[in-house]
């Protein structure tokens, strides 16, 4: 493999360290110059032009290009989203610069969530890498490609904490752990903005969905969120704050309500918390259609009232706006919205454009006329090597009995399953400007890896589901799922025939990408029956059975884990997915991914997350007892815990010690443990450190991740691994929402997942 040249290619995409440390936007002299510039500009603007700046518009059936052109020329549009090629963006910017009275440039935004043209693994997969550098690399490449397409902003990172795998959007976020997601939030903002969102190669981040969208009741999309202030501050808000602290230029407001008040009409959220307490200075953007949804939420009488509520609550820009321009002038005239409220929002938008460098050069990311690529989808514009390097790190080995994996490249392999040869599925949802025909399926990856040394016998084996109503649902907006009309048994027979001729069976099963998306909540998180029938038939052949899972959420895999000899979780691994999975299946890369969300045994256990509070009657594995917090009709605890993932080698952890039995305020102690590679392959382990505050003024979680180190060891090698603990790691919100560490006893747990750990303890004075 040519990984050496990958490294040199990557160096051009590194995060500029001089900038990564500090908040890039609006500081010092820059902020003063900006204020003067924007104030002067606003003096020349009419009320209508100011309102125009607050409208974020997308081309679509209701909004043809001609209508947009008209709106741009009249100064009625502030920014555009969903336009993603340089020629299209240039044409619109030309209209603003040539036809509008004040020549205020537009900005261009898009959902670049896990890649732009080169699609990286979905965010949940990225989190599974437990590798912040790899995650940063995916963000840098995405920003570079988005900027090369002329974009100025991405609606990302999505940092909603997710503890309910029924919610399809868990695929877009980084999982259940507040500490880990907060780290990634900063990494992603730094990667996108790279110190200065105006520079070619950078885009402004707009963190979403503010706030608490991941906690929708029952995992049903758009549903209500009702949450105690303590849980909110402790568990759900920190990742957004981490993104804001890292300088995210934008914040997208969530669609849900929070304790009865929709986020879009929530001045506590958007003014008090975000602006006054967190000091956010950028723009807030409503989510798609969220303003008119205030009527259905039951807090606005009509569209006019909804507009009044949104703007006075602190929503600057209206996404897919239908009503800001229609109603704001009248609301101002009638004294229901003050002009200063419009000025405040308009100033935020103009400041943002200033920070994007658009007043200096409206074509900053576009480059000169004539520089546009001849072929937007040219292969040369992709970053395949980077995508493969990152994707390999995101794969999680869940089971590997009898050394079924890695596979021999000389074997005859039956490759079956509805996702085995699906270019659309491997990209995952929100695949931005990625082109399905450029993505590598498992079939292609495996065939390439073995060349003419082995035979791959492919059969589809099953449809993702036989339920036509679900297929229709998945195909409503794009022809995403190809439905095979042959009788299911015929497809299974074909797969069994292939299996009978093979040494090993690889079945690619799970969910098609549209099942793990916005508006894709599931009441049942098992693999659909059509695929289970296939798995059962393959199992009956007696051939070693490898399940390669493609899914965007934790699935309930109790039955599958009994059928399979090996299981590899691959999420949706992106443009280079098939190659990356082949690297792992054949042992060219030893898997090291870890689960960023708990995998429950059944849907009935949800919510199930590792960092829960204790109860007064905790369930204990050793001595379960009747009157304990448990289900009597199911084994308790997860099928696979947070932080879990195997390797082709084995590791042992021993001799956990602390450098001191007590930690001084502002001091540091170090946990040390010996990690040994006890197997036959070189490989990487993720040593995880969890803390527990044993007694505090409020109940604290049974354990919380506070540090980890990914350590590469050669077969037989051992190393002492050190993980520091400081007072900051012990801090939490008390009942009065004060942040601090309380004295007393703390447990330190170190393990290779969140469940199997060694313990020590110390005190804080």
User: Nearest 5 degrees, angle CA 356-CA 373-CA 126?
Assistant: 60
> Residue 502, SS3?
coil
Q: What is the per-residue DSSP string for 649-674?
A: S-EEEEEEEES-SEE-TT-EEEEEEE
Q: 630-633: long-range contacts (C-beta < 8 A, 24 or more apart)? A: 631/604, 631/605
| Closest separation in Å from C-beta 251 to ligand BGC | 12
Cis peptide before 504 (omega within 30 of 0): no
Catalytic positions? 287
Distances (CA, A) of 487 to 483, 491, 492, 596: 11, 7, 9, 38
Q: Where are the beta strands (DSSP E) in 570-703?
A: 651-658, 662-663, 668-677, 683-693
| Closest separation in Å from C-beta 82 to ligand BGC | 7
Q: Which is nearer to ligand BGC, 234 or 256 (CB)?
A: 256
**Beta-carbon count within 10 A of 410 CB:** 11
| Closest separation in Å from C-beta 156 to ligand BGC | 8
Q: Which is nearer to ligand BGC, 263 or 407 (CB)?
A: 263
CB-closest chain residue to ligand BGC: 155
| Closest separation in Å from C-beta 687 to ligand BGC | 34
C-beta of residue 203 within 8 angstroms of C-beta of residue 197: yes
Q: At 456, give phi and psi (nearest 5°).
A: -105, 120
Radius of gyration of the chain (CA): 26
Any idea what DSSP says for residue 521? -
| Closest separation in Å from C-beta 153 to ligand BGC | 11
x/- letters, 253..292, toward ligand BGC (CB under 6 A): ----------------------------------xx----
Q: Binding to ligand BGC by residue 177, rule CB under 6 A?
A: no
Q: Which is nearer to ligand BGC, 166 or 347 (CB)?
A: 166
Q: Which is nearer to ligand BGC, 306 or 538 (CB)?
A: 306
Q: Which is nearer to ligand BGC, 155 or 572 (CB)?
A: 155
Q: Which is nearer to ligand BGC, 34 or 114 (CB)?
A: 114
- Close Cβ partners of 238 (under 8 Å, ≥ 6 residues apart): 178, 179, 181, 182
Q: Is the dihedral of CA 741, 746, 751, 753 positive or negative?
A: negative
Q: Which H helix or E strand runs over 760?
A: strand 757-764
Q: Which is nearer to ligand BGC, 213 or 458 (CB)?
A: 213
| Closest separation in Å from C-beta 290 to ligand BGC | 9
Per CB under 6 A, the list member of 49, 78, 89, 111 interacting with ligand BGC is 111
Q: How far apart are CA 424 and CA 426, in angstroms?
A: 6
| Closest separation in Å from C-beta 283 to ligand BGC | 14
| Closest separation in Å from C-beta 512 to ligand BGC | 20
Phi-psi region of 597 (alpha: psi -120 to 50; beta: other; left: phi over 0): beta
Distances (CA, A) of 39 to 35, 42, 47, 535: 6, 5, 14, 66
> Residue 606, SS3?
coil
Q: How far apart are CA 525 and CA 249, in angstroms?
A: 36
Per CB under 6 A, the list member of 34, 90, 186, 208 interacting with ligand BGC is 208
Between strands 504-510 and 153-154, the pairing is: unpaired
| Closest separation in Å from C-beta 757 to ligand BGC | 36
Q: Which is nearer to ligand BGC, 287 or 386 (CB)?
A: 287
Q: What is the per-residue DSSP string for 407-454?
A: PPTTSEEEEESTTTT-HHHHH-SS-TT--GGGSPPHHHHHHHHHTTSS
Q: How far apart are CA 27 and CA 247, in angstroms?
A: 11
| Closest separation in Å from C-beta 278 to ligand BGC | 21
Alpha helices in 44-99 (DSSP H): 47-53, 65-73, 86-99
For residues 508-547, which are near ligand BGC according to CB under 6 A? 518
Size of the site for ligand BGC (CB under 6 A): 6
Q: At 270, give phi and psi (nearest 5°).
A: -90, -20
| Closest separation in Å from C-beta 553 to ligand BGC | 17
Q: Which is nearer to ligand BGC, 188 or 548 (CB)?
A: 188
Q: How far apart are CA 60 and CA 69, in angstroms?
A: 13
Q: Which is nearer to ligand BGC, 120 or 213 (CB)?
A: 213
x/- letters, 131..170, toward ligand BGC (CB under 6 A): ------------------------x---------------
Q: Is the dihedral of CA 518, 520, 523, 525 positive or negative?
A: negative
C-beta of residue 15 within 8 angstroms of C-beta of residue 140: yes
Q: Which is nearer to ligand BGC, 288 or 381 (CB)?
A: 288
Binding site for ligand BGC (CB under 6 A): 111, 155, 208, 287-288, 518
């Amino acid at each position: 493999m040519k990984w050496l040249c990958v490294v040199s290619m990557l160096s051009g995409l590194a995060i500029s360290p001089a900038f990564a440390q500090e908040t890039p936007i609006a500081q010092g002299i820059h902020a003063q110059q900006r204020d003067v510039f924007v104030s002067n500009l606003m003096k020349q603007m009419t009320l209508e032009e100011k309102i125009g700046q607050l409208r974020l518009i997308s081309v679509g059936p209701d909004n043809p290009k001609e209508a947009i052109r008209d709106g741009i020329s009249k100064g009625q549009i502030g920014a555009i989203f969903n336009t993603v090629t340089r020629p299209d963006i240039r044409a619109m910017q030309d209209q603003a610069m040539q036809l509008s009275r004040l020549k205020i440039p537009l900005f261009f935004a898009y959902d670049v969530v896990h890649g732009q043209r080169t699609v990286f693994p979905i965010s949940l997969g990225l989190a599974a890498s437990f590798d912040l550098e790899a995650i940063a690399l995916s963000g840098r490449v995405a920003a570079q490609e988005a900027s090369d397409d002329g974009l100025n902003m991405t609606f990302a990172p999505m940092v909603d904490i997710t503890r309910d795998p029924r919610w399809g959007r868990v695929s877009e976020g980084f999982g259940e752990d507040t500490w880990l997601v907060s780290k990634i939030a900063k990494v992603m903002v730094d990667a996108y903005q790279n110190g200065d969102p105006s520079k070619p190669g950078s885009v402004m981040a707009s963190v979403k969905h503010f706030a608490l969208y991941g906690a929708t009741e029952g995992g049903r999309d758009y549903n209500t969120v009702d949450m105690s202030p303590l849980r909110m501050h402790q568990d759900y808000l920190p990742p957004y704050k981490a993104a804001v602290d890292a300088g995210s230029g934008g914040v997208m407001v969530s669609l849900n309500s929070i304790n009865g008040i929709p986020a879009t009409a929530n001045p506590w959220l958007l003014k008090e918390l975000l602006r006054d307490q967190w000091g956010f200075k950028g723009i807030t953007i409503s989510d798609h259609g969220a303003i008119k949804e205030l009527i259905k939420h039951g807090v606005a009488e009509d569209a006019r009232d909804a507009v009044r509520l949104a703007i006075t609550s602190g929503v600057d820009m209206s996404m897919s706006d239908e009503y800001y321009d229609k109603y704001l002038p009248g609301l101002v005239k009638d004294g229901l919205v003050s002009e200063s409220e419009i000025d405040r929002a308009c100033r935020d938008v103009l400041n943002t454009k200033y920070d994007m460098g658009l007043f200096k050069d409206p074509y900053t990311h576009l480059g000169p006329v004539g520089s546009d690529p001849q072929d937007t989808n040219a292969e040369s514009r992709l970053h395949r090597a980077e995508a493969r390097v990152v994707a390999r790190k995101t794969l999680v080995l869940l089971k590997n009995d009898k050394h079924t994996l890695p596979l021999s490249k000389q074997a005859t392999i039956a490759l079956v399953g509805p996702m085995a040869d699906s270019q659309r599925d491997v990209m995952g949802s929100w695949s931005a400007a990625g082109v399905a025909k450029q993505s590598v399926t498992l079939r292609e990856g495996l065939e390439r890896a073995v060349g003419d040394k082995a035979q791959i016998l492919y059969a589809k084996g099953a449809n993702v589901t036989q339920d036509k109503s679900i297929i229709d649902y998945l195909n409503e907006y794009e022809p995403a799922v190809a439905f095979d009309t042959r009788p299911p048994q015929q497809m299974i027979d074909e797969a069994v025939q292939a299996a009978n001729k093979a040494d090993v069976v690889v079945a690619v099963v799970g969910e098609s990408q549209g099942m793990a998306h916005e508006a894709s909540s599931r009441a049942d998180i098992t693999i659909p029956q059509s695929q289970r029938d296939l798995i059962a038939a393959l199992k009956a052949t007696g051939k070693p059975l490898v399940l390669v899972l493609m899914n965007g959420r934790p699935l309930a895999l109790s039955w599958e884990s009994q059928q399979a000899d090996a299981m590899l979780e691959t999420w949706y691994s992106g443009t280079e997915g098939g190659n990356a999975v082949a690297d792992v299946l054949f042992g060219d890369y030893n898997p090291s991914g870890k689960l960023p969300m708990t995998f429950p045994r059944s849907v009935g256990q949800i919510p199930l997350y590792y960092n829960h509070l204790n109860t007064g009657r905790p369930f204990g594995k050793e001595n379960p007892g009747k009157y304990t917090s448990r289900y009597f009709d199911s084994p308790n605890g997860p099928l696979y815990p947070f932080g879990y993932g195997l390797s082709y080698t084995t590791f042992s952890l021993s001799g956990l010690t602390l450098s001191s039995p007590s930690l001084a305020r502002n001091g540091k102690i170090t946990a040390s443990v010996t990690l040994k590679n006890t197997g036959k392959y070189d490989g990487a382990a993720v040593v995880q450190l969890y803390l527990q505050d044993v007694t505090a003024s409020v109940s604290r979680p049974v354990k919380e991740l506070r540090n980890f180190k990914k350590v590469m060891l050669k077969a037989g090698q051992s190393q002492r691994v050190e993980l520091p603990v400081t007072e900051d790691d012990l801090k939490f919100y008390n009942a009065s929402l004060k942040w601090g560490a309380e004295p007393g006893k703390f447990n330190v747990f170190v393990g290779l997942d969140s469940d199997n750990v060694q313990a020590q303890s110390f005190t804080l004075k």
